Amino acid sequence: MENDPYEDIFQTISNFNKSIESLLPALEAEVNDLIKSGYKERNSIEQTLDTLLSLVNMGFAENLFLSLLDYYKTIDEEGAAFYWNEYDSHE
């Protein structure tokens, strides 16, 4: 009997989700470190926001994105507004 193609797709998606979920603790540690240390390098923060926004669009890491965005607005209000608009446009 051949494999059910829908089962294969489901398994692939399930494996992908598990892979993403395994990365979340490291991302959470990175976000917490950026915030607690008072890190102010915009390019690095924006790269992390870009990564998190991509994950948010896939249904992951929304709380991490919003935490970092809330912090980022204390550094660059205009930059934070851009990310907030991107977030709003995908909800």
Q: What is the 3-state secondary structure (H, E, C) of the chain?
A: CCCCHHHHHHHHHHHHHHHHHHHHHHHHHHHHHHHHHCCCCHHHHHHHHHHHHHHHHCCCCHHHHHHHHHHHCCCCHHHHHHHHHHHHHCC
User: Does any domain span residue 3?
Assistant: no
Decide: 35 and 63 in contact? Cβ < 8 Å: no
Predicted confidence pLDDT, tens digits, the chain (91 residues)? 467 888 989 998 999 989 999 999 999 999 999 999 999 999 999 999 999 999 999 999 999 999 999 999 999 999 999 999 999 997 6
pLDDT score recorded for residue 91: 64
- The residue segments making up the domain with residue 42 are 24-89
pTM score, whole prediction: 0.87
Give the total number of structural domains in the chain: 1
CA distance 41 to 91: 28
User: Does any domain span residue 65?
Assistant: yes
pLDDT score recorded for residue 2: 67
User: Does any domain span residue 9?
Assistant: no
User: Does any domain span residue 12?
Assistant: no
Tokens representing residue 19 in the block: 């892979």
User: Does any domain span residue 60?
Assistant: yes
